[in-house]
Structure 1
Amino acid sequence: MADLQRIIPINIEDEMKSAYIDYSMSVIVSRALPDVRDGLKPVHRRILYAMQDLGLYYNKSHRKSARVVGEVLGKYHPHGDSSVYEAMVRMAQDWSLRYPMVDGQGNFGHIDGDGPAAMRYTEARLARIADEMLSDIKKDTVDFELNFDDSIKEPTVLPARIPNLLVNGASGIAVGMATNMLPHNLREIIDGTIATIKDPQIDTDGLMEYIKAPDFPTGGIIYGVEGVKEAFETGRGRVVVRGKAEIIADAKGRETIIVTEIPYQVSKAGLVIKMSELRRDEKVPGISEIRDESDREGIRIVIEVKRDAMAQVVLSKLYKYSQLQTSYGVNNVALVKGRPQTLSLKSLIEEFIEFRIEVIVRRTQFELKKAEERAHIVEGLIIAVDNIDEVIKIIRGSGTVDEARNSLMDRFDLSEIQAKAILELRLQKLTGLEIEKLREEYNELMEKIKRFKEILASVEIQKDIVVEELMEIRERYGDERRTEVTFADGEISIEDMIPNEEMMVSISHLGYIKRTKSDQYKVQGRGGKGSKGSRTRDKDFVEHIFVANAHNYLLLFTEMGRCYWLRIYEIPEGSRNGSGRVMQNILQIPKEDKVKTYIVVKDLTDQEFLQNNFVMFCTKNGLIKKTTLEAYSRPRVNGINAITINEGDYLIDARLTDGNKEVILANRNGRAIRFNESKVRSMGRNAAGVKGITLDDSEDQVVGMVCVDPDDPAVTILVISEKGNGKRTDVDEYRITNRGGKGVKTMNISEKTGKLIAIKAVVDDDHIVITNRSGLMIRMALSEIRVMGRATQGVRVISLNKGDAIADITVIKPEEEEDIKDLDNTEYEEEE
């Protein structure tokens, strides 16, 4: 019965709740969350305090890490030695903490993810900046409490002179909550703190003039400031960080990506492995080799890019698929007066300011007390010195020390402390010099006491002291930002990585495509032989060549009437002499089909533009069709039907119009027809079109179509024959007729000129690039080709080798021609 009475019945549910709450609070307060005042968790605080106890200051010798860990475990932290050592190791790693608190000697791990050597091999001491965390701790600036076995006392917080929680950040998982605070630049944080002291009403925007964003020890680039601002404002947010990479090109134009900084807390070795896997799995095509060339000087990851790939696209995909770009969820949870709170940037700064004022007040009270105690003693000593003969007489006449002390107290109205100090006075203090020093010391003490009382009586003076001390810290430890800030949105945008520069795009007869910077082509005089423009395979030649900006959309139309989409930057880049890449490897084009024409569009999202502009099609047999551009604004991987092509026919041209243009079609036999665009009604994508021109016979075919503005007098019509003759003719020489007619003569075709090969609308300032079947190109100014009548043969514009012929021409509108050189002023023979 007695045994049963010792059992107390309880509800297991209540007991579990109570026990779990106790456990939760223990984890929250004593393990996982940092204190808002010094920014430290208990283990870190105990490590620093124990190292100070051991005298391991920055200017002393290192001691074995095992000695430090033993001190922490034995006196303050009754947990596992590995947890203490790991915490100390992290405080010594310059890639983990923005401002390391421990100066380690030996193997303290590596940014590759390698662990440190055992604690018996490594040595440690306090870093110099850690002195600022422990400064004035012996001046009653913070509260102390008994340790786990009540044998000694330990500080509940360190009197930190630096805003450690903001500059070094913190992370931890408690029960039901977590914290993830990012590091910042000390100089910026101090500037923001001083600004807050001077203007307590400052808002987040005002603080961001001083504190730009987090500043990581590993550098990198913060991509977008919206998440940063949200974190500063609310204590929660998302910060996107990219590694710093540079693209360099060798003399042959081959590009290489050099990564010199990686995101915070990312293992370099793990990052390189992930990149290699992306290359192996072809998730990021275009990488030929990845090497880690890092050394003691810093990080250097080399990513060699294939010749037909674009380094900026490769880099953008690495940002997307690897930890070269990483996002951090900010969660500013810290203990405020023992309770966890989520804090904004301003709240964190205000809590630190409040703490520093408290430390200064307690330090001043301590120093005031010490100064008053010393002044009290010095005052008694001065009284004794002034009455030295009588003091000596009283002491000599006393039988015991207690009698002497009491006699002095009664005679001179002294306190027991003063009387005791007089009895302990050494004879050397009775010299004239020492007596004067006592009076000087007393005066200095009275000045200090006056100053201390002024400090305690004025909050403004206390704030001035905070500012003064922060400026000293800023001067001593402040450094430049390591992490750059890119003011862009947080989305991954390939366009942001690619300059929107002018590109020359070429498409060969067999379907090879490439892009090249347009200034690689020289401008030559009319009649020149041309330069090598593209190394083509047997029986292949460049069929189309045109200029577009890197961000433009390219609508590609095939002979069979299909439409495909490409961004210009998605086209493989090649050298001027390279052949490019076969289009079937880029687009899902059937082998029996081929790209015949194209349209370059700046944007496919502007609905007003899409609905008020049209695509005008023309087929080999003279059919034409008009459809709104909006019908081709939704890209599909396998393309869409753009126009229905009849048997025996194929598409030869497509042009972008605004509904008010005039259309000119030309055939191989040298005739052209001109009619208004309004003669062709808008049709759906699947329509075949209507007749535009009547051909002479089954051997005849349309060679091209131009759409001109009838109100633009500067435009002339350029025609080129396959054997190198060409000329320009005023538009007005082509009379306007109805569509479907045979048209009028546009060039006098003969055996010497060959059949008509192309028709283009040009102005005097334009340049053209002429490509022949052997791959040679010549670039020339249109002003060198004179304007002639319709019924002439034109002049020789390019000299051809025997058996060669012109394949295509393209018109270029250069804004600047700084690179024009090697002008060939070859004389030409005019042919009427």
Structure 2
Amino acid sequence: MIEQDRIIKVNIDEEMKSSYIDYSMSVIVSRALPDVRDGFKPVHRRVLFGMNELGNNSDKPYKKSARIVGEVMGKFHPHGDSSIYGTLVRLAQPWAMRYPLVDGQGNFGSVDGDSPAAMRYTEARLRKIAEEMLVDINKDTVDFQLNFDDTLKEPVVLPTRIPNLLINGSSGIAVGMATNMPPHNLAEAVDATIAYIENNEIEISELIKYIKAPDFPTGGIIYGYAGVKEAFETGRGRVVVRSKVDIEVDDAGREKIVVNEIPYQVNKAELIKSVVALVEDKRVEGISHINDESDRDGMRIVIDIKRDANSNVVLNKLFKYTALQSSFSVNNIALVNGRPRMLNLKDLIRHFVDHRHEVVTRRTQFELSEAEKRAHLLEGFMIILDNLDEAIQIIRDSKTPEEARTRLMERFGLSDVQSRAIVEMRLRQLTGMEQDKLRAEYEEVMNLIERLKEILAKVELRMEIIKNELVEVKDKFGDKRRTEIVYASEEFNPEDFYSDDEMVITISHLGYIKRTALTEFRTQGRGGVGSKGSDSRDEDFIEYIYPASMHNTMLFFTQKGKCYWLKVYEIPEGSKNSKGRAIQNLLNIDADDKVNAFIRVKGLNDADYINNHYLIFCTKNGIIKKTSLEAYSRPRQNGVNAITIREDDQVIQVRLTNGDTHVVIANRNGRAIRFHESQVRTMGRTATGVRAMTLDEDGQDEVVGMICVPNNTKESVMVVSQKGYGKRTWLDEMDENGERILDENGTIVPVYRVTKRGGKGVKTMNITEKTGKLVSIKSVNDDNDLMIINKSGVVIRLKVADIRIMGRATQGVRLINLDKRNDEIASVCKVETEREEDTIEVNEAVEPGVNNEFNPEDNAMNNSGTENVSSEETEDNN
């Protein structure tokens, strides 16, 4: 019965909850989070205080780290030597602390993550900046508490003159919360603190002018300012830090990426291993060798780049996939009055200033108390000096010191403290010189008392003292920023990862797309058999080929009249013989829809450009529509309606114009119509359009293509038929010198006469059974090549200059030999010719659309947005 009475039954849920709360509060307050006033956790504070008590100051010899650890563990921190030594080591590491507080001698680890030597081998002492955090600690400036065994006292907080939490930061994981505070520049932190003292109502936006951003001990570059600003304003933010690198070129002309500084808290050895792993996994190509050439003079990681690689592209991939670029997640949680709080920049400065104000006030009170005590003694001395003979006689006549003290108190009205000091006074202090010194000291002490009382009476004087001490600290320890700031950059620009190489975009009949380097295609003579351009399924064949560069923006238009947007580098890369990837997997296209027209642009953010250029749509049934490019400058991910299409119609061509071009549209039966684009008024994005050409009523006729030719162009019209025949024809009559022929009235003599839209047009090719129906019309010149691909997947590239100019109504010449009887031409595309036959140098290729003369066939090239503004407009086809 007695044993049962000793057992107390408790609810296990309540006991666990209570115990865990006690444990978590202990971790939060006594281990993991720093105090906002001095920026220290208990272990840091105890290490510095223990070293100070040990006399291990900057002007004294080093002491063994084991001696320091033993002192701190035995007196203040009974939690094991490893935690104390780990703290001591970190306080001495210049790559871990922006302003190291311990001066270490020996092996204290390295930025490669090497472990420090055992504490019996290393030595340490305080640095001068650490002594500034301990100054005046014996002047009752801070509260003390009993240590773990109640035998000694330790400070609750240090009376630091330096905003340590700002300049050195802190990190720690508590229970249910964590802190991660970046270091800052001391000079900037002092300037911001002084600005706050001078104006307590200062906004964070004003403080940022003084303390610009974190300043990491390892340097680097802060890449983008939004995260910094957010952290200053809210206490939380993401600061992106990049390594500082240079691109060097050796004597052999090979490029090297040289890393001189890495982000804060990045392990250099692990960083190098990660780069090697990426190269081995072929995730980053273009690196031939990596070597660590760091020494005592600084960091130097050398990455050799292969001859055919682009160093900037490699570097940007390393930034993305390795710790060469990393982010510091700011989480400013610190203890305020023993409670964890999230703090912004102004809060951190305000709490430090409040702490310094309390320290200065308590120090002044302490000094006033000491001065008043001394003045009281000096008053007693001066009374005795004025009555020296009598006082000496009283002391001589007294039998004991106690009797002498009592008689002096009664005779001269002295206090107990004064009488004791007088009895214990040495005879030498009775000399005339010493008497003068005492009187001078009394006067000096009284002046001091008056000044100290004035300081205690006026807040302005106390704040001035704080400012002066901060300026003194700045003069002693201030230095320049190590971390640079790049304000205008935020997230990665995807274009940074791709060279702007020339590519060929290939789209098959069943909707498979790929990009292939233009250099994979070789030039062949006219009439050649061609080379295999794609391995496609029997029922599939290549239908569209289109030249573009990696940074181009592609606008895709479907036969149902929708517009989609992709960067060329977002299109999957494939070899010349690969099938590609289904467009439906890249764009949100309906199952019964497909892309059959596209343009490339490079300036959808340029308001002047997009408002002065137009998209002209042509449909299979001969409908044309003209809309400002601005209406398509902000496509959505799910596409936008580009044109309203009737049920039995579809978009076959889209062209970019400058508002002053001639439109030429050709049909299957070999006719073409030419009219100025002003014949088509500008309509809204969803308009239907108007009639461009009247088709034959045989039930099989349809429009095969459209070209838009600027005025005074010297380009010719290229038409190709189903069975491999083609020819070039001038748009206007030309002489032998390539100049337009004028009639007797000075008017240009057209080959294709200019008419109004909606007519039947004129013959552009003599269509026979041998030639087959017309399949393509292009605007070309002698600088172009033609890429012709048939339904069996064979592609041939030939020079346009090899095809002679012929009359408008002629049959043309054979361009490609079709091996199979039922084979037909599927698609024709023009590209810029290469400088030398059988070789194509990408860097020598003429980039279409960049020259000064506008070329609507080439389109233009720039970036685009991602939103859309719609304007509904419809028009009858008449």
TM-score (norm 1): 0.72
Matches within 5 A, 1:552-571: 552-553=552-553
Asked if residue 736 in structure 1 is aligned to residue 760 in structure 2, the reply is no
> In 2, Cα distance between the equivalents of 1:333 and 1:719?
70
Asked if residue 325 in structure 1 is aligned to residue 325 in structure 2, the reply is yes
Contact persistence 1:289–1:305 (CA under 8 A): yes
Contact persistence 1:242–1:326 (CA under 8 A): yes
Tell me what 1:707 maps to.
709
2:131 alignment partner AA: D
Structure 1 residues 740 and 483: CA distance shift in structure 2, 3 A = farther
Matches within 5 A, 1:790-805: none
Matches within 5 A, 1:417-566: 417-488=417-488, 490-494=490-494, 552-553=552-553
Structure 1 residues 659 and 582: CA distance shift in structure 2, 3 A = farther
> In 2, Cα distance between the equivalents of 1:162 and 1:494?
43
Within the candidate set 845, 851, 860, 1:813 is matched to: 851
Q: Secondary structure at the match of 2:302?
A: strand
Deviations 1:644-695 (CA, angstroms, capped at 9, x unpaired): xxxxxxx9x98423676313699xxxx99843347899999xxxx999999x
Deviations 1:179-211 (CA, angstroms, capped at 9, x unpaired): 121211111111111111111111211111112
Q: Secondary structure at the match of 2:291?
A: strand
Aligned pairs, how many?
A: 715
Asked if residue 717 in structure 1 is aligned to residue 719 in structure 2, the reply is no
Contact persistence 2:378–2:442 (CA under 8 A): yes
Structure 1 residues 174 and 473: CA distance shift in structure 2, 3 A = same
Matches within 5 A, 1:339-488: 339-488=339-488
Contact persistence 1:167–1:189 (CA under 8 A): yes
> In 2, Cα distance between the equivalents of 1:105 and 1:165?
25
Shift of 1:319: 2.5
2:36 alignment partner AA: V
Contact persistence 2:244–2:261 (CA under 8 A): yes
> In 1, Cα distance between the equivalents of 2:263 and 2:10?
53
> In 1, Cα distance between the equivalents of 2:14 and 2:599?
76
> In 2, Cα distance between the equivalents of 1:53 and 1:396?
45
Contact persistence 2:38–2:158 (CA under 8 A): yes
Shift of 1:616: 6.8
Contact persistence 1:405–1:423 (CA under 8 A): yes
> In 2, Cα distance between the equivalents of 1:334 and 1:184?
16
> In 2, Cα distance between the equivalents of 1:361 and 1:232?
29
Shift of 1:9: 3.5
Asked if residue 113 in structure 1 is aligned to residue 151 in structure 2, the reply is no
Tell me what 1:753 maps to.
none
2:33 alignment partner AA: L
Structure 1 residues 446 and 120: CA distance shift in structure 2, 3 A = same
> In 1, Cα distance between the equivalents of 2:838 and 2:225?
63
> In 2, Cα distance between the equivalents of 1:159 and 1:277?
49
Asked if residue 276 in structure 1 is aligned to residue 276 in structure 2, the reply is yes
Deviations 1:112-151 (CA, angstroms, capped at 9, x unpaired): 1222111111111111110011010011111111111111
> In 1, Cα distance between the equivalents of 2:63 and 2:326?
37
Tell me what 2:50 maps to.
50
> In 1, Cα distance between the equivalents of 2:202 and 2:4?
67
> In 1, Cα distance between the equivalents of 2:403 and 2:150?
41
Shift of 1:68: 0.9
Contact persistence 1:583–1:589 (CA under 8 A): no
2:712 alignment partner AA: T
Shift of 1:507: 7.7
Structure 1 residues 197 and 662: CA distance shift in structure 2, 3 A = same
Q: Secondary structure at the match of 1:485?
A: strand
Tell me what 1:215 maps to.
215
> In 2, Cα distance between the equivalents of 1:624 and 1:188?
67
> In 2, Cα distance between the equivalents of 1:312 and 1:410?
93
Tell me what 1:243 maps to.
243
Q: Secondary structure at the match of 2:713?
A: strand
Structure 1 residues 395 and 550: CA distance shift in structure 2, 3 A = farther
> In 2, Cα distance between the equivalents of 1:91 and 1:803?
65
Deviations 1:6-33 (CA, angstroms, capped at 9, x unpaired): 3333333333333222222211111111
Structure 1 residues 728 and 589: CA distance shift in structure 2, 3 A = farther
Tell me what 1:26 maps to.
26
Tell me what 2:143 maps to.
143
> In 1, Cα distance between the equivalents of 2:780 and 2:134?
81
> In 2, Cα distance between the equivalents of 1:135 and 1:185?
22
> In 1, Cα distance between the equivalents of 2:400 and 2:244?
81
1:358 alignment partner AA: E
Shift of 1:758: 10
Tell me what 1:602 maps to.
603
2:463 alignment partner AA: K
Deviates more, 1:39-48 or 1:273-282: 273-282
Unaligned runs of 5+ in 2: 507-513, 527-545, 558-562, 584-595, 638-651, 697-703, 717-727, 730-735, 766-776, 788-796, 800-807, 809-832, 840-844, 854-878
1:63 alignment partner AA: K
Q: Secondary structure at the match of 2:334?
A: strand
Tell me what 2:80 maps to.
80
Structure 1 residues 705 and 86: CA distance shift in structure 2, 3 A = same
Shift of 1:450: 0.5
Q: Secondary structure at the match of 2:125?
A: strand
Tell me what 1:785 maps to.
none
Structure 1 residues 20 and 570: CA distance shift in structure 2, 3 A = closer
> In 1, Cα distance between the equivalents of 2:846 and 2:37?
75
TM-score (norm 2): 0.68
Structure 1 residues 624 and 120: CA distance shift in structure 2, 3 A = farther
Shift of 1:315: 2.8
1:27 alignment partner AA: V
> In 2, Cα distance between the equivalents of 1:586 and 1:138?
81
Contact persistence 1:136–1:159 (CA under 8 A): yes
Q: Secondary structure at the match of 2:128?
A: coil
2:119 alignment partner AA: M
C-alpha RMSD over aligned residues: 5.6
> In 1, Cα distance between the equivalents of 2:270 and 2:10?
52
1:707 alignment partner AA: V
Contact persistence 2:188–2:211 (CA under 8 A): yes
> In 1, Cα distance between the equivalents of 2:636 and 2:301?
36
Q: Percent identity?
A: 52
Tell me what 2:195 maps to.
195
> In 2, Cα distance between the equivalents of 1:540 and 1:383?
124
Tell me what 1:646 maps to.
none
> In 2, Cα distance between the equivalents of 1:504 and 1:489?
24
